[in-house]
Amino acid sequence: MPECAAEWVIFTDLDGSLLDHDTYRWDPALPWLARLRVAQVPVIITTSKTAAEVAPLQHSLGLGDIPFIAENGALVTLPASWENHPDFPRKIFSADYLSLCRILNRLRTEYAFDFRGFSDMTDAEVADITGLHMSDAALARRREGSEPLIWLGNDVELERFAACLKPYQLAITQGGRFYHVMGKSVSKGHAVGWLTKQYQLRTGTTITTVGLGDGPNDGSLLEATQHAVIIKGAVSDKVTLSPKYRGEVYHTECPGPRGWSEGLSHYLGQIIAD
């Protein structure tokens, strides 16, 4: 264990982890958020949400002036205190959104693929499909490095579509409600690894990382950290880590923000004063 709390960096998923799966509240996590803030341990949001969605939530959580990872690792947003970083204010690991949409439209026209992406929809349509409020749907459509889409073709056409994306260094993955097209090397874990290295360069110290997540798409996030907290999920899908993962793993008994706090107490309870 490191001697100084400042050597720790926390990477966390949002929905079902720091935020309650049903209410999206984080009240049980407030004591630990306060402890980490006093100890100056950064809590880095790592989520499928867009940067436009994360920014106001990050402020509400009291996590301002800290980088965050958006769109499942397609980009890292850097705060004002990082203005001297060569990638400020964004590090984008995918094709930029306009280029990505041009490629998708080109393939749809050329091969008659049948799909609808967020760029094809209005705010009202996205709100209707997702259950988001209209204002939140507008934020979800402000994308920078990935495109959620509804696939309307068959499985054979989907395989062909995936093959057509490869020459453009793009890939398609299946999420809960949508398929997502993004750069082929994009993942939460890749972004976590990059940002961990930036913290090491910035501080000149060895960084020890904790990752917290509750769902299958958090696997790469957890595997990119040294101490993984698998939070008890509210749904049946389980987090599976690679057999090659050599870090420590803690499974919580509680779900959501209570489990989030439980995991931090396990790893940091004796290091950071309450």
Amino acid identity of residue 228, one-letter, is A
Lookup: tokens for 52: 């436009």
Write out the DSSP string of 78-128.
Answer: --GGGTTSTTTTEEE-S--HHHHHHHHHHHHHHH---EEEGGGS-HHHHHH
Cα 180 from Cα 190, distance rounded (Å): 17
Q: Are 108 and 115 contacting, i.e. CB atoms less than 8 angstroms apart? A: yes
Region of residue 137 (left: phi > 0; alpha: psi -120 to 50; beta: else): alpha
Peptide bond into 89 cis (omega under 30): yes
Cα 9 from Cα 195, distance rounded (Å): 10
Q: Are 100 and 147 contacting, i.e. CB atoms less than 8 angstroms apart? A: yes
Cα 256 from Cα 164, distance rounded (Å): 39
Crossing angle (nearest 10°) for helices 97-111 and 155-165? 130
Residue 13 among the catalytic residues: yes
Cα 183 from Cα 44, distance rounded (Å): 22
Which of 13, 20, 123, 214 is flagged as catalytic? 13
Measured at the CA of 34, the angle between CA 15 and CA 216, to 5 degrees, comes to 20
List CB contacts of 105: < 8 A, sequence separation 6 or more: none
Catalytic residue list: 13
